[in-house]
Structure 1
Amino acid sequence: MDAASLHTGGSEWRVGPAARLIVLNEAMQKEVPPSPEDLIRLLNAVAQAQDRKAFAQLFAYFAPRLKSFFIRTGLAAGAAEEVTQEVMIAVWRKASCFDPSRGGASTWVFTIARNQRIDRLRRARSRTADSLVDLSDEAAPPPSGEDIAIMAEREEGVRKALATLPNEQATIVRLSFFSEKPHAEIARELGIPLGTVKSRVRLALSRLRTVLDSDI
């Protein structure tokens, strides 16, 4: 990937070649990582003063974690880097929307990351609908300690959002994402067609995204 820039409104944030950026980020991660309070302070600095130094620290902290997260969800390394930059552009532009009373900085950033991943999957499905492989039936890698911490932070918000779903959609979401059951197994367990399971999952994810986006 050639040199690239993060466009931030009327200006741009130059990040350089992707390979060099990853090496730099990995080197910076050997230092003491910022605390949750530090991350909130840095986000506030970006929101209030478009502080580039604060954004650089956020980028150094989150970029390698976001890339690893996207790779674990199935993206190739190049695509993971692209989506990571998209997420960090959103962090720069939407920093003023961050509300620390609703959750930590990591929760907020990874909520954006999840939404970007859903958008990318939706675009991919629309382009390759006839040949799409059902990713829900593939074995998922075991969660890392970081994944577990992030999921724990988001759990309360996700469960509140689930409460807004119709019962038949909420049941399938719990079986698919909490019990990690493939769609085919859910269809057999509930005695409904596989197509119905997939349709309800799509409807549920769309509604959950709307609810969770309103909390960012």
Structure 2
Amino acid sequence: MNSEAEREKAGEAGRMTALLLRVAAADRLAFAELYAHYGPRLRLYMRKLGADAAASEDLAQEAMAAVWNKARLFDPAKANASTWIFTVARNRRIDLIRRERRPELDAEDPSLQAEAPDSPEQAIITRRNAVAIRAALAALPPDQAEVIRMSFFEDRPHGAIAAALGVPLGTVKSRLRLAFGRFRKALGETE
């Protein structure tokens, strides 16, 4: 093993860690030196991860901006400067991939448009129908009204209604059919 090369590498890592700690204290000269050292390495790293040249440049700049803003979070007891900076850069790349996979919303998409409010005439008709439906529901025999309530207001399936009432499924369906017939008659509809 080449111990001199290892000492030199350890010395460089220690120098980068010291620079990063100075960046945490808002030392611009330390940041410039750190940027000069890591900028090209980060661009190359992003290229190896599959980013094109422009994206690699942008990601390297974003990563170094994050290093400047978050340097106070760096803990030399947990990682060396290089590991921490490359982790920041990798996270920027992951964020970019997530943004690319998330589709942009189209403000013109009809499904995202609010429904037009009812016209005054339609509002009157809707209110009149609601009153007529409530009156028709109140006029139903209790067993039919209960089946309507369970089916439409509680959104229960017919089988669950039959089980809850202790009646055969056919009885539930017959009560619903009879109730609808009364509704049609009360609302003036013909079959």
Alignment TM-score, normalising by the size of structure 1: 0.42
Name whichever structure is richer in helix by fraction.
2
Alignment TM-score, normalising by the size of structure 2: 0.48
